[in-house]
Amino acid sequence: MIEIQEISKKFSGQVVLDKFSLTIDYSDKIALIGPNGAGKTTLIRIILGHYQHNGSISVFGENPRKNRIHVLDHIGFVPQYPPPIAMNIKELVQFSAKISKRSKVEKIYQIADDLKLDIYSNEKKPFVKLSGGMKQKLLIALALAKDPSLLIMDEPTANLDLEGREAFFLKLKNIPKETIIILSSHRSDELLSLVNRIIEMNCGKIVVNE
């Protein structure tokens, strides 16, 4: 589970998270919603151990900042903006499988195929040269292949076509019940069938928790 207590974070003097507290239990499926600047992405990056901050956070009983490598091994993450990875698809898949004890090349290929992404025909393409939709599908496949205890996705459907979205939602419905899922989005309508909680943020605070 995740325990967040009185987290505060500023950038250039501007408050992004304001004494933010939240408990997330095993099996929670959360739609994290709110406008741009609400603090959603900053919260996600603190869970991932990216930022120093005031307050405390525990992810599966550990501090994600101090024990980042171990904590991240239990997390599958899909960022809102794909990173500028220099590797081609085959290299990226092999690298991802190598650094995670939970992931295997064959599983990544199978999930990508389920998401309507043909890796075999595109193995030599550099990741940075892929379309937005192809990047998104590959990053989703890499995250799901880890069988993560915590799955975090920041605007996961932003670049997916209709076929890809349908395949993605089907995948999420078949994720193990005990897996914690946090789906960050500007909108909640398409996520309602997948979640049991809605957390709405604004100005670094929770305005809805239901």
Task: Report the CATH number that the domain containing residue 182 is assigned in CATH.
Answer: 3.40.50.300
Does residue 186 carry a pLDDT above 80? no
Q: What is the three-class DSSP state of 137?
A: helix
Q: What stretches of the chain adopt beta strand conformation (E)?
A: 2-11, 14-24, 29-33, 54-59, 75-78, 150-154, 180-185, 197-202, 205-209
Nearest 10 degrees: CA dihedral of 25, 40, 96, 176?
30
Taken in order 66, 145, 142, 189, the sign of the CA dihedral is negative
pTM of the model: 0.94
Domain count, the chain: 1
Does residue 102 carry a pLDDT above 90? no
Rg from Cα positions in the chain: 17
pLDDT at site 178: 94
- Give the residue-averaged pLDDT of 181-199: 86
Domain span at residue 123 reads 2-209
Going by C-alpha positions, the residue among 132, 142, 137, 138 that lies closest to residue 165 is: 137
- Determine if residue 61 is left, alpha or beta; phi over 0 gives left, psi from -120 to 50 gives alpha, anything else beta: left
| 100 vs 96, more confident | 96
pLDDT at site 187: 67
